[in-house]
């Protein structure tokens, strides 16, 4: 992982410092911070998050299978990238940073696509996703270089291929919520012929 001013003080590899998340109210206004794992313990603390949806030039969505070693939702399929801004970090900057950290690629286009608030318990881990989520859509035009500690697999899918995969594979608890919320921006980005 490249060391940036944000990751130098907030990454797990930098020693004993806990990873902090921004706690927010129902309008998304910052009200404090909490340690990452504590924020996800039941019943969950509402915190800022982001979700990224990247598409190729054919209008196919990049989805990833989360690495098996992750403590939260390991091995499940999900959107291109998701995570949490560090306290004081703009969601857009966090989305671009984390996409590069996980997938080794910078989006050639990244645009805001609204927000969505949800509460999704994860039945496998017992953790709770109580999030005020900033959505982003964009394009990827460079070869991926996924970090194996973060990503087990990636695939580009059409809407029909996603429906087939969603019917047979396990997806993250939040996936359909964030995809449905991002659909208007996805349709604007990919055009009606892509079928999103």
Q: Write down the catalytic residue from 89, 102, 129, 131.
A: 131
**Alpha-carbon span 99 to 176, nearest angstrom:** 20
pTM: 0.89
Q: Which two tokens stand for residue 135?
A: 């959505």
**Residue tagged active-site, from 82, 102, 129, 150:** 82
Distances 85 to 41, 46, 149, 172 between C-alpha atoms, Å: 18, 13, 19, 19
Per-residue pLDDT of the chain (196 residues), as tens digits, is 232 333 333 334 445 688 999 999 999 999 999 999 999 999 999 999 999 999 999 999 999 999 998 878 889 999 999 999 999 999 999 999 999 999 999 999 999 999 999 999 988 788 999 999 999 999 999 999 999 999 999 999 999 999 999 999 999 999 999 999 999 999 999 998 899 9
Domain 19-194 CATH assignment equals 3.90.79.10 = yes
Catalytic-residue membership of 82: yes
Q: Looking at residue 7, what is its pLDDT? A: 32
The tokens of 112 are what? 């805001």
131 is catalytic: yes
- Name residues whose C-beta falls within 8 Å of residue 87's C-beta, 6 or more positions apart in sequence: 20, 21, 22, 30, 33
Residue 16 pLDDT: 60
pLDDT at 122: 84
**14 phi, psi to nearest 5 deg:** -90, 15
Using alpha carbons, select from 28, 31, 34 the residue that is nearest to residue 48.
28
Tell me how many degrees the CA angle 58-143-54 measures, rounded to the nearest 5: 50
Where do we find the tokens 């989360």? 66
Specify the pLDDT at position 66: 96
16 Cβ contact partners less than 8 Å away, ≥ 6 residues apart: none
pLDDT at 73: 86
């Amino acid at each position: 992982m490249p060391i940036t001013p944000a990751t130098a003080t907030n990454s797990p590899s930098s020693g004993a410092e806990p990873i902090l998340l921004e706690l927010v109210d129902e309008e998304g206004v910052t009200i404090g911070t909490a340690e990452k794992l504590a924020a996800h313990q039941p019943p969950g603390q509402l915190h800022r998050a982001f979700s990224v949806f990247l598409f190729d030039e054919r209008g196919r969505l990049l989805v990833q299978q989360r690495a098996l070693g992750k403590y939260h939702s390991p091995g499940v399929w999900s959107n291109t990238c998701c995570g949490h801004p560090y306290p004081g970090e703009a969601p857009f900057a966090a989305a671009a940073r984390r996409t590069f950290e996980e997938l080794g690629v910078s989006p050639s286009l990244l645009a805001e696509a609204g927000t969505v608030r949800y509460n999704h318990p994860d039945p496998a881990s017992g953790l709770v996703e109580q999030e005020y989520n900033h959505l982003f859509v964009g394009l990827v035009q460079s070869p991926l270089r996924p970090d194996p500690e973060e990503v087990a697999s990636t695939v580009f899918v059409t809407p029909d291929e996603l429906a087939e995969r969603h019917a047979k594979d396990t997806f993250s608890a939040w996936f359909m919520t964030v995809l449905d919320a991002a659909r208007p921006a996805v349709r604007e980005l990919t055009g009606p012929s892509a079928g999103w």
